[in-house]
A and B are shown apart, each in its own frame.
Chain A
Amino acid sequence: MLSPRLFVAQRLTAALMAPLVAGHLSGIIYAIQGGLDAAEILSRTQGSVAFALFYQAFVVAVSLHAAIGIRVICFEWGKLSGRLLDLATWATGLTLFATGSFAVATLALG
């Protein structure tokens, strides 16, 4: 159900998300200090490669981490197994990746 590689992948993505969350929160606090509105924020994020890379890394980490976590919950609580369990894992991961990437692209590319 949870292979050693999936276990390590979840731990590594957790380690990656720790500084990303800190950066995200710092960015929010910094952005609202001067009273920025949505248009001003968008003007800063659009075309920013650093912003796109930062949040796309976040999206990849969240997609992997959450998909593995949901896999465990589906197995232990939902009693899913076999292909159904794999399907739930992939569906969670791909949905998060697609919606997250779409949001990052929208903010970074306009």
Chain B
Amino acid sequence: MALIEVRNLVKKFDDKAVLKGINIDLHQGNSKVLMGTSGCGKSTLLRCLNLLIQPTSGQIIFKGEDITRPGVDVRKVREDIGFVFQHFALYRHLTVEENVTLGLRKIKKMKSKEAVEKASHELNRVGMFEHRNKYPAQLSGGQKQRAAIVRALAMDPAVLFLDEPTSALDPQMSREVVTVINKLFLDNITMFCVTHDAFLAKYISDSIVFMDDGVIVAEDIAERLFYESVDPRIKQFFLSVIDHR
């Protein structure tokens, strides 16, 4: 059974359908990257999957439970889904360590000492321990994104969602973050990542899902999708993003 099963997912904003019947599965230990042109519905899909956006119709089965049904415990669902944002979204009044421990203390109900130990362990994993007492304003973009990844991972989520994790970074900082996410990929962390970054996609994915105009057009491993696809939309897209790099 898949960790996440999406069936005929539709999302409309007023009359405009952004997702037009999405079907996709994500298995435990699997990493999928979602690519496609801007406005094709990638980020909307990601936000629907953890109910930040309420889908119009369709089903999302997460760990065997339909989370689109009324009365679902949204907090419990979100607790189990780590989310990393394009612009980091660190709480800027808190230090790196406090950013990581806040959820552990308030949501996981961990004692402060235990939360700090957990945070220190996770920060060490991505080389951020020495920056634990800094505030977001004192960090570089790459450091902010690594801290944001740690904040999500520390909650021990069943799956990690990443929404364009490198697109707000310059190439050097982007490499820094790709290295960290690649490490997670090699550790078999279940991930679902939205990106335009072909380099990131290649190094962190078991398969790449290509979306266009609210529908999934193809799903395949990176090399085949990048270089062998005959679909003109896919060819055009990868030609531009790969050439761009």
B is a partner of A: no
* Chain B interfacial positions (CB closer than 8 Å to A): none
